[in-house]
Amino acid sequence: MTIPEEFKYTKEHEWLCSEQDHFVVGITAHAQEQLGDVVFVELPEVGSRVKQGESFGSVESVKAVNDLYAPVSGEVIEINEQLADNAALVNEDPYGKGWLIKVKRTDDHNEDGNLLSAADYKKLLDG
Amino acid sequence: MDNSSDLHTPLYDLLREYGGRFVNFAGWQMPVQFTGIIAEHQAVRNAVGIFDVSHMGELLVEGPDAFKALDFVVTNSIGRMQDGKALYTLMCLPTGGIVDDIIIYREAADRYFICANASRKDVDFAHLRQATAKFRCKIFDCSNEYAQLALQGPKAAALLTKLSKLDVKSLSNFTFCDATVANIDSVRVARTGYTGEDGFELYCAPKDAVELFSAILKVGADYGLMLCGLGARDTLRLEMKYSLYGNDIDTECNPIEAGLEWAVKLNKGDFIGREALIVETQEKPKRKLIGFKMVGRGIPRHGYDINFNGEKVGVVTSGTHSPTLNVPIGIGYVPTSVAAIGTNIDIIIRDREVSAVIVETPFYQRAKHDYS
Reported ipTM: 0.86
Helix, strand, coil % over all residues of chain A, rounded to 5: 20, 35, 45
Write b or e for each residue in A109-119: b if 16 or more Cβ atoms lie within 10 A of its Cβ, otherwise e: eebeeebbeee
Whether B113 and B86 have beta carbons less than 8 Å apart is answered as: no
With H, G, I as helix, E, B as strand and everything else as coil, classify residue B320: strand
The ranges of chain B with pLDDT < 70 are: 1-5, 368-372
Residues of B in contact with A84 (CB under 8 A): 297
Residue B167 gets which letter from DSSP? -
Residue A79: predicted pLDDT: 98
C-alpha B105: how far from chain center:
15
With H, G, I as helix, E, B as strand and everything else as coil, classify residue A63: coil
Find the Cα–Cα–Cα–Cα dihedral B90, B44, B322, B308, rounded to 10°.
Answer: -10
With CA atoms as reference, the chain A residue closest to B323 would be A62
Q: Do A62 and B350 touch (CB under 8 A)?
A: no
Residue A113: predicted pLDDT: 87
CA distance A119 to chain B (A): 23
Residue B367: predicted pLDDT: 74
Q: Do A40 and B321 touch (CB under 8 A)?
A: yes
Q: Do A60 and B235 touch (CB under 8 A)?
A: no
Which stretches of chain A sit within 8 Å of chain B by CB? 36-37, 39-40, 42, 58, 60-63, 65, 84
Residue B3: predicted pLDDT: 47
Q: Model's pTM, two decimal places?
A: 0.94
Q: Quick: pLDDT tens for A40-78.
A: 999 999 999 999 999 999 999 998 899 999 999 999 999
Residue A53 falls in which region: left (phi positive, over 0), alpha (psi -120 to 50) or beta: left
Residue B370: predicted pLDDT: 55
CA distance A36 to chain B (A): 6
Q: To the nearest whole percent, how much of chain A has pLDDT over 70?
A: 98
Q: Do B37 and A36 touch (CB under 8 A)?
A: yes
Among B37, B299, B326, B352, pick the best mutation site for testing chain A contact (most A Cβ within 10 A). B299
Residues of A in contact with B37 (CB under 8 A): 36-37, 61-63
Which secondary structure element, helix H or strand E, spans residue B316, and what is its range?
strand B311-322
Q: B30, B44, B229, B48: which is closest to A37 by C-alpha?
A: B229
Among A32, A34, A38, A63, pick the best mutation site for testing chain B contact (most B Cβ within 10 A). A63
Report CA torsion sign: B139, B144, B146, B152. positive
Q: Do B350 and A58 touch (CB under 8 A)?
A: yes
Residue B6: predicted pLDDT: 85
Those residues with Cβ within 8 angstroms of residue A63's Cβ, 6 or more apart along the chain or in another chain: A36, B32, B37, B231, B234, B320
CA distance A42 to chain B (A): 8
Find the Cα–Cα–Cα–Cα dihedral B255, B260, B261, B263, rounded to 10°.
Answer: -110
Q: To the nearest whole percent, how much of chain B has pLDDT over 90?
A: 95
Which of A58, A63, A65 has the CB atom closest to B231's CB atom? A63
Residues of B in contact with A63 (CB under 8 A): 32, 37, 231, 234, 320
With CA atoms as reference, the chain A residue closest to B350 would be A58
Whether A104 and A16 have beta carbons less than 8 Å apart is answered as: no
Chain A contact for B43 (CB, 8 A cutoff)? no
With CA atoms as reference, the chain B residue closest to A42 would be B298
Q: Answer yes or no: is pLDDT of A108 > 70.
A: no
CA distance linking residue A30 with residue B19, whole number of Å:
15
Among A33, A41, A60, A62, pick the best mutation site for testing chain B contact (most B Cβ within 10 A). A62
